[in-house]
Chains A and B, each alone.
Chain A
């Protein structure tokens, strides 16, 4: 009884002689008394009739079966993404058309007023154009993806995923509940990190916190979906393009899960050694989803929340990027100076300086990485109107993008530092600067190595 011998608390000093040594046995006796009485009460108050055919159990038998569990999981994921990619295309173009028509109107309004060129530059070419782009490209996929994901959540599918993955996580030396926190991370990494509180053991909880960033979050899904659509989709016949794009995004997500397992394995063998603890996971009954609720909640809570965050951060970032790109030291703009300094590193990683700059400026929110890349390219000369995905494709191709570039950007989007909010949450949860630093460096180093390998490997076999 080490706790007693500390003698900090006077009451314990007095009671010590009374307390028996077999605490664990007493705990068991207390628990079993409570159970017995709960049972006795239930005998009085609950009558069970013959239950109807148990559809839940049958469905669970299929969804969590050894052979079908994983394929069904992947299929559902691919289906959700395919619906998103196919469905988002048309509204995206419509929105972009509308927003850029509005830009022209605003431009002529500025002309009529005789506004100075720098004001027009900052407000229209900087702020408005970035915002229009964020909304046109990100809103439609989110408005389709989030309700579908919420639907799966409401049905009760996520615990089945955790059940399927439990064994893998345990083999990686992590806690089975980590799968739930990982799923939470697909929504938002900051929320995922907070949800790690459901894991009891500090060791396993830290593993879950440190690997949460490998779940592709809401802020990164749109980037992945857009890049997959315009680059991967173009590799095959149009009929299959959205299917391939969906599969590529599934591939990136799966890469994230594999990395999660791999890093969990490494951590549990090195820094955070220990034996995985057992836990009981309850498979909740499937429930009839509340469709109205799902649509309202996922649109308001998720879609508008993510979009709002993107807009709030993208507006000043758009202005900043424009200012950087239009202030000159000598005859080279500040933006170009900064990006050309990053360029060598970017090049060996299959990307370029502007892309790396965008990831750095995107620290507050992953949502704005792609908009900043576009801003960067547009300010670097070619001022084309971005009114559709194909225009975006042309812009990126003009700046030397290949599908290898797209893959590297997608991989780096999966594997770089967590966003500012997530880092802050990690610090709040661990209360240690060094774990926060590790959470930053671990994915970053991994991302640099991975893109380096992919790019150099592709160069070697001359793809």
Chain B
């Protein structure tokens, strides 16, 4: 079966790195995979890390410089999926989707990669600018688990870097890959999750009709799938007209709970 994967290629400034020298990287991943450790290692910041799920509830930001470029790293809450079931999942999803980071760096746990890949595949449905960091490679080795990062990169169609963030291993390579990506030296061809025939045909019908209702950068295949799931709230975050838009990097913070 052939499937049209509309991965959104973005606005003009983005593909021309000589124009911009400052890039935003979203840091996503399952809980407790060492995301905050990667964050601290990259930014040299000292955000408190703890060995328990759900430690990072709010977004944290930090900057680092590499090869004369400035990067702002946004540490998103750890989530298992992007289904927007809870406030932290929604924070992560909305940022990846609507704040349009230049790169989404997904950190995963080498010792239980399969579960982690669910999130990776979901992120790939939203954006093509993804780098996968397979963290805790040292621990995987101890547990006799071998992760073939090259094979993984091939399968996913995105760069994959193995790291052991606690000892700093692999982080320089990670920075180089991020740099190559914003320079346009790496072109991704992300793997697209293919659904059953009935779903795909529904998506094919819905997707083109969305075009006039939202700006071009919104991934319409992804929106179509969410609408099929009945997640209509999503539409409140998207400008309702193809010609209307809001600047990138901005999003309404909506973490608080509202009761009647």
Contacts and interface: CB of A to CB of B under 8 A. Distances in A.
Interface in A1-58: 1, 3-4, 9-12, 14-15, 18-20, 23-24, 26-27, 29-31, 33-35, 37-39, 41-42, 44-52
B114 interface: yes
Interface stretch (B94-102, B137-145, B172-180, B182-190): B137-145
B228 A284 contact: no
A22 B103 CA distance: 35
A426 B77 CA distance: 20
Contacts of B191: 37, 41
Interface of B: 31-32, 46, 48-55, 57-58, 77, 81, 83, 85-88, 111, 113-115, 117-118, 120-122, 139, 142-149, 151-152, 155-156, 166, 191, 193-196, 199, 202, 205-206, 209-210, 213-214, 225, 227-230, 232-233, 235-236, 240, 255-259
Nearest to A203: B259
Interface residues of A, number: 70
A3 B196 contact: no
Contact of A27 (B86, B113, B155, B229): B229
Interface of A: 1, 3-4, 9-12, 14-15, 18-20, 23-24, 26-27, 29-31, 33-35, 37-39, 41-42, 44-52, 150, 153-156, 158-159, 177, 180, 194-195, 197-200, 202, 205-206, 281-282, 284-285, 287, 290, 293, 297, 300-301, 428-432, 435
21 contacts: A15-B209, A19-B228, A27-B230, A29-B199, A30-B225, A33-B195, A44-B155, A45-B147, A45-B152, A45-B155, A150-B50, A156-B51, A159-B52, A180-B54, A197-B86, A198-B57, A206-B259, A282-B31, A285-B111, A297-B46, A428-B256
Given A9-B232, A14-B209, A41-B155, 16 more contacts: A9-B236, A10-B213, A11-B235, A18-B205, A30-B199, A38-B115, A44-B151, A45-B147, A45-B155, A159-B53, A195-B55, A197-B87, A198-B88, A284-B32, A430-B257, A431-B258
Summarize A's interface: helix, strand, loop or mixed. Answer: helix
Contacts of B229: 23, 26-27, 30
A442 B183 CA distance: 57
B125 to A, nearest CB: 9
B51 A155 contact: yes
Given A12-B232, A38-B117, A19 B227 contact: yes
A20 B206 CA distance: 12
Contacts of A159: 52-53
Contacts of B213: 10-11
B183 to A, nearest CB: 27
Contacts of B214: 11
Nearest to B32: A284
Contacts of A14: 209
Contact of A297 (B48, B240, B258): B48
A199 B87 CA distance: 8
B223 to A, nearest CB: 9
A116 B11 CA distance: 70
B114 A284 contact: no
A38 B121 contact: yes
Nearest to B241: A10
Given A9-B235, A33-B196, A301-B48, A42 B117 contact: yes
A134 B252 CA distance: 41
A287 B34 CA distance: 11
B147 A10 contact: no
